[in-house]
Amino acid sequence: MLTKNVDELEKSGRAKGAEKVITQCIPAQKGKGPRYLLEGYGNKEFIRMNSNSYLGLSLRKDMIEAEEKGAAEFGVGPGAVRFINGTFKSHLDLEAKLAAFHGREAGMIFSSAYVTSIGVIFPMTTKETVLISDELNHNCIINAMRLGRPAGKEIYAHNNMEALEKALERSIGKGKRALVITDGIFSMRGDHAPLDEFVKVCEKFNDKFEEGVITIADDSHGVGAFGKTGRGTEEYTNAKVDILVGTLGKAFGVNGGYVVSSKEVVKYLRESAPTYIYSNPITVSESEAAIKALEIVDTSEGKDILAHLRAMTQKFDKGLCDLGLETIEGDHPVVPLMVRDSQKTSDIVKHLNEHGVLATGLNFPVVPKGDEEIRFQINASHTEKDIDIVLEVLSNYKD
């Protein structure tokens, strides 16, 4: 039965297929960013246009040294979950720095951003809670809502604040508490939630629910890479939600997830989030590298890195438009090439790979039918030469 299911996925074109195996990273040199060698491709070099490491921090010497120092002092694993094994000072230091980075009272780290969203939404959901979600929210939010078994659910049209308001109106009387959840950056499209409007709409209904309306944003693709100083979608829209979920595994170049909020909320989650209580934390070495990443972002060099990332994103976006190709407008380094056809999407990805460019095609059901795309992700490690090479490869594609 399992084999049959996989066969059906492969026949329908929905299977993820074999993963490419990276065997070597060649450091940036001579005006080029890092290049990668893949198993089965000999010495052919590839540009990665499908990495979430938006700031290019993971290859920095000071980041590697910070991680190595943590491993040398405390070993390569945490030993056990925190309530059994105790916690490490580095974990507490990182949580405090994350809270300060986002202007919150407290922070809490998890083993990944995916389990952070589940670990926040699930215990915040009671039998008298209504969940309200953007229709394009990430899979982690969808699964957290399934686990929660709330009093009611509402899904509103993507980034449509009028639809959100109607969803809140329909929810009055169905539960004591409303959790309203959105991605900060929508990872498949690179567009952002209008958090300023989002918060205002939710505040209008706060007194309509006995326990209020709680706003939650998962800004895993935004934190570190978006906004003038890397504070993410909140900074970009000049807004603040009640509970913010982020990741250390994308722009910050390490691993792990986190949540920042009030002391009251974080204390409650430490006692109730199953993916925190029963899962090992990230290692001390990862914590040390994440602390270094936060320090880098908050320097003048960090601002230069963000400025370069924005410049490369704008250059690539303009290049697509100059080629007559369709994209979705936005300032985030996720730049989608809207192909709107499954077979053509696969053909373009194959063409890119043949010419040394790694990019990810997204077909149904990962995206809705008609929204098939190639998701390009710009990194601060990309150079102008890299962007020109990728645009030239695209310009040479023939139907």
**181, HSE (Cβ side, Cα atoms, 13 Å):** 30
DSSP 134-147: ETT--HHHHHHHHH
What does the alpha-carbon distance between residue 293 and residue 60 come to, in Å, rounded to a whole number?
10
Three-state SS at 89:
helix
Active-site hit among 97, 221, 332, 382: 221
What does the alpha-carbon distance between residue 107 and residue 258 come to, in Å, rounded to a whole number?
7
Active site residue 187: yes
> Cα-flanking dihedrals φ and ψ of residue 226, to 5°?
-125, 145
Active-site hit among 51, 53, 187, 287: 187
Active site residue 174: no
What does the alpha-carbon distance between residue 360 and residue 270 come to, in Å, rounded to a whole number?
36
Active-site hit among 97, 138, 192, 250: 250
Segment (H or E) for 69: helix 61-74
Strand partners, 321: none
Active site residue 16: no
What does the alpha-carbon distance between residue 193 and residue 136 come to, in Å, rounded to a whole number?
11
> Cα-flanking dihedrals φ and ψ of residue 160, to 5°?
-95, 105
70 contacts 286 by C-beta, under 8 angstroms: yes
Q: Structure tokens of 320?
A: 């697509």
Q: Structure tokens of 119?
A: 């670990």
> DSSP state, 29?
B
Q: Which residues are catalytic?
A: 187, 221, 250
